[in-house]
């Protein structure tokens, strides 16, 4: 049975938790606040710790819940973005819904087994994610980094499934365009 050592949390876990939160919020101050809230929630709930998971995993679980709460608050204020996203789809598709010739996906021809290319890819992926609007980045992160199901994302962010699909479609288009511009051209 695992035991908690709150006096060591900052030293042992703050850097890991901060990196995790920063990747999901893209805001250093917000990430620091979420980690601090995680430690405070952990202290408030020490008596609920059953010891069936490690101290580290328990803190990450608390942080994940804090991030979901952060996403939910943000999403409710960002839903107006969806109308703008629908208008921008004309950048890629014609009236019939087919790819415009100028926007047609390019062949990447990349060796995904090459470690150097993997490192370059993840660096550019992070930069491309930072360019996404906040709502798009939140949904993209939940879907592709946190591997959540679409129904769960809709429920947690209180958005409709049609809103979700518009957002995820736009995220894919923007990420593809950014990766083609910044990674494939290297």
The 10s digit of each residue's pLDDT in 129-154 is 888 888 888 899 999 888 999 999 99
pLDDT tens across 66-78, in order? 998 888 777 766 6
With 0.75 as the threshold, say if the pTM is over it: no
Helix (H) or strand (E) holding 138: helix 134-140
């Amino acid at each position: 049975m695992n035991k908690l050592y709150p006096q060591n949390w900052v030293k042992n876990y703050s850097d890991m938790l901060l990196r995790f939160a920063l990747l999901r919020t893209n805001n250093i101050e917000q990430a620091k606040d979420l980690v601090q809230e995680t430690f405070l929630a952990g202290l408030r709930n020490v008596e609920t710790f059953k010891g069936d998971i490690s101290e580290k995993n328990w803190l990450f679980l608390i942080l994940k819940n804090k991030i979901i709460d952060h996403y939910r608050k943000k999403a409710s204020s960002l839903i107006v973005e969806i109308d703008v996203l629908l208008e921008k789809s004309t950048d890629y598709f014609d009236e019939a819904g087919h790819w415009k010739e100028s926007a047609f996906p390019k062949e990447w021809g990349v060796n995904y087994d090459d470690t150097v290319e993997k490192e370059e890819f993840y660096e550019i992926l992070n930069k491309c994610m930072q360019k996404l609007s906040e709502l798009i980045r939140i949904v993209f992160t939940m879907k592709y980094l946190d591997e959540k199901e679409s129904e769960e994302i809709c429920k947690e962010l209180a958005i409709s499934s049609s809103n979700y699909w518009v957002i995820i479609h736009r995220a894919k288009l923007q990420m593809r365009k950014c990766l083609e511009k910044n990674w494939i051209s290297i």
